[in-house]
């Protein structure tokens, strides 16, 4: 593909060239010439079909995780997050050492590869929250918890300009990817002032199904607010908020 250069951007198709607008600007590319039926049946495209099946499976798995975390992802703004998560899900599927190519899946893959995934690449949890924390994933009880010792916000949180308060967010999820169902619980602190006063110890415990045999995910995030005349407002629609998967147990 090529980027369009000129005063008047084009959209549509002229001959074999398609003009379109993407996140990277106005682009142009040669119109594809492969027949869909040939790709679906020709033995020469067997690997293409296998890759396509697994990519589709990765996309569906990523969507399930995003849906489960939807209430907290509403605090996050990153237009490329879906593509990045799908790419990581592909890695999970490729780690499946049980099934043949084309049939590999998340269940038999390595879901633990998702641990550390940042939902906002522009504002990472690892470069926003510096307070030490610990977490537990108790499959027997179903409790997915994160604990943070008392800390001084101005020393341990890299807050954006204008922020006066913040909330710590957490979610615990158990996902049955095969049957496309999940159990989720979310927790959040009260709005805490971003100042030089130490917080109390914080523990956010999310409870999912006890003795679950499905992959478990624990997320931790931070959302920033600005107080104006006693009312808290979010900052730039979540552009500065951070959230990551801090714990994953693929079983």
State residue 33's pLDDT score: 56
Q: How far apart are CA 202 and CA 166, in angstroms?
A: 13
Are the C-beta atoms of 188 and 165 separated by less than 8 Å?
no
Give Cβ neighbours of residue 211 (< 8 Å, ≥ 6 apart): 139, 140, 142
Q: Which residue in 241, 128, 114 sits closest to 188, CA to CA?
A: 241
Exposure string over 49-61, b if 16+ CB within 10 A, otherwise e: beeebbeebbbeb
Q: How far apart are CA 44 and CA 158, in angstroms?
A: 53
Q: How far apart are CA 145 and CA 138, in angstroms?
A: 8
State residue 68's pLDDT score: 96
Q: How far apart are CA 218 and CA 143, in angstroms?
A: 10
So where are the chain's domains? 36-249
Identify the residue whose tokens are 């510096």: 130
State residue 20's pLDDT score: 66
Q: What is the DSSP letter of 238?
A: G
Mean pLDDT by 10 residues, the chain (251 residues): 58 65 68 60 67 87 95 89 94 92 88 95 95 97 98 97 96 94 96 97 98 96 94 86 95 77
State residue 17's pLDDT score: 73
Q: How far apart are CA 238 and CA 223, in angstroms?
A: 7
Q: What is the pLDDT of residues 91-117, one digit of tens each?
A: 999 999 999 988 888 888 899 999 999
Q: pTM (2 decimals)? A: 0.82
**103 phi/psi in degrees, rounded to 5:** -115, 0
State residue 50's pLDDT score: 75
Give Cβ neighbours of residue 162 (< 8 Å, ≥ 6 apart): 226, 235
């Amino acid at each position: 593909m090529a980027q369009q250069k000129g005063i008047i951007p084009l959209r549509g198709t002229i001959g074999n060239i398609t003009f379109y607008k993407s996140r990277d600007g106005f682009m142009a590319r040669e119109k594809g010439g492969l027949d869909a039926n040939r790709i679906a049946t020709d033995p020469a495209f067997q690997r293409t079909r296998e890759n396509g099946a697994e990519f589709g499976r990765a996309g569906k798995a990523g969507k399930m995780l995003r849906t489960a975390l939807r209430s907290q992802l509403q605090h996050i703004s990153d237009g490329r997050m879906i593509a990045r998560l799908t790419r990581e899900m592909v890695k999970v599927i490729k780690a499946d050492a049980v099934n043949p190519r084309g049939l590999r899946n998340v269940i038999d893959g390595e879901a633990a590869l998702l641990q550390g995934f940042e939902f906002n690449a522009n504002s990472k949890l690892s470069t926003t929250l510096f307070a030490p924390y610990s977490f537990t994933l108790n499959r027997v009880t179903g409790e997915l918890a994160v604990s943070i010792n008392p800390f001084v916000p101005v020393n341990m949180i890299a807050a954006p300009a204008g922020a006066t308060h913040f909330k710590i967010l957490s979610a615990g999820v158990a996902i049955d990817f095969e049957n496309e169902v999940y159990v989720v619980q979310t927790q959040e602190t009260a709005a805490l002032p971003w100042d030089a006063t130490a917080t109390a110890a914080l523990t956010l415990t999310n409870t999912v199904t006890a003795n679950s045999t499905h992959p478990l995910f624990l997320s931790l995030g931070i959302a920033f607010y600005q107080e104006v005349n006693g009312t808290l407002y979010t900052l730039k629609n979540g552009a500065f908020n951070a959230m990551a998967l801090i714990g994953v147990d693929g079983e």
